[in-house]
Every structure is written in structure tokens, then in C-alpha cells.
Structure 1
């Protein structure tokens, strides 16, 4: 059975990962704001698809804390690279998404 998660938590996760990939592509691949290169567009499509079909749905943790990683190894490496680059910059470019993501990570540690 294929899940189609479209609730508020998944929607916020999609918004966060989309922004991070966009920021990465803009800074690393010199793409104009809002335009993605083919590689980043592919990664974004893959990430959004994984979130839509996430087995945990609205109860999902951040991907970093997930018990069962669903990304293929090649995409897992790509998204880690994007997050390492974009994560620290999120506080400058989109503080709401950054603080929300940090809060969710800290909350799940306890």
C-alpha cells in the first residue's frame, strides 16, 4: 500500500528540504534564485517523493533521527552534502524553518 502523506508536518518538512536544496543550488551551482540545475531538481523530486510515501507519516522524526532510512545510498550522500552546506545558512535565509527543524531534532533527543 502506497501512502500519500500530505499533512502539516510532512508539508513543513517538504518546504524545509525544498528550501535547503534551492539554497544549495543557488550558492554552489550559481543558479538564479528559484531555478534548480538538473541534479538538484532530481534530488528535490526524490526527497519530496520519499516524504510523500514516508512510513511514519505525521509522526515522522527528522530524517537524521529516523530509525529506518529510506533514501538510496547515492541520494543519501547528496542530501547529507546539501544539509551540511545549507543547514548553518538557514538561520540567515529562513530562520523560521531553521529554528523549527532544530527544535524538532532537540525534542526527539529527549
Structure 2
């Protein structure tokens, strides 16, 4: 899979997770804070030098998020991760498969 394809898939997943978090916690499609978090995450994904060799940011040895944004994205992922199984099950299955595959390499 090309880095460009991986970037677009990772952006789609993070957008889904942030949107789910915002809908459930802020009762909006996408509030200003969540939109800024999404833009920041997409910027980090675009600048990632390891995209060819990694599957997801959670599997990366280098964490490029600022500490405040890293805490926000963790909060979103902790909330949205389990709920994604009910909203976008194919994304969860794909994520688990690719994460485990990478760890076993």
C-alpha cells in the first residue's frame, strides 16, 4: 500500500473518531475544538516521515503530537474506539488486523 493511500485512510479513520466523539459529547457534528484537533491530526499525518513503514500512529515509536494535543486525541480514541465497533465495524476489524500484523513483524 502506498504512503498516499495510507495517509488518506488514516485521515478518514481519525475524522470518523473525532466526529463520533463530538456528536456524543458536544452534541454537534463538529465543534470548533474538535475541528482544530482534526486539522492538527491531519497535519501530523501529512508530515509523517514513517508512513511507508508504519500502520497507525499508535504503533509509531516517535510521537510527534504536542503533549496537549496528544492528550486530547487519546481522550477521543478512548471514547470512540470501542464505540466504532457499532458505528463503523469494518474500520475496527481492519485496524485490529493491520495493528497485529505490524506488531508481529
Structure 1-normalised TM-score?
A: 0.87
Equivalent residue in structure 1 for 2:44, among 34, 46, 50 = 50
Q: Report how far residue 57 of structure 1 moved.
A: 2.2
How many residues matched?
Answer: 103
Task: Show the 5 A alignment for 1:27-66.
Answer: 27-31=24-28, 35-66=29-60
Which protein is richer in helix relative to its size?
Answer: 2
Task: Look up the match of 1:20.
Answer: 17
Q: Distance between the aligned counterparts of 1:58 and 1:91, measured in 2?
A: 27
Structure 2-normalised TM-score?
A: 0.91
Task: Look up the match of 2:5.
Answer: 8
SS of alignment partner, residue 57 of structure 1: coil
Deviations along 1:14-69, whole A, 9 cap, x unmatched? 100000000000001111xxx21111000000000100111112322311110101
Which ranges of 4 or more aligned residues in structure 1 deviate by more than 2 Å? 57-61
Query: Which 5+ residue runs of structure 1 have no aligned equivalent?
Result: none
Deviations along 1:45-97, whole A, 9 cap, x unmatched? 00001001111123223111101010000000000000000000111101111
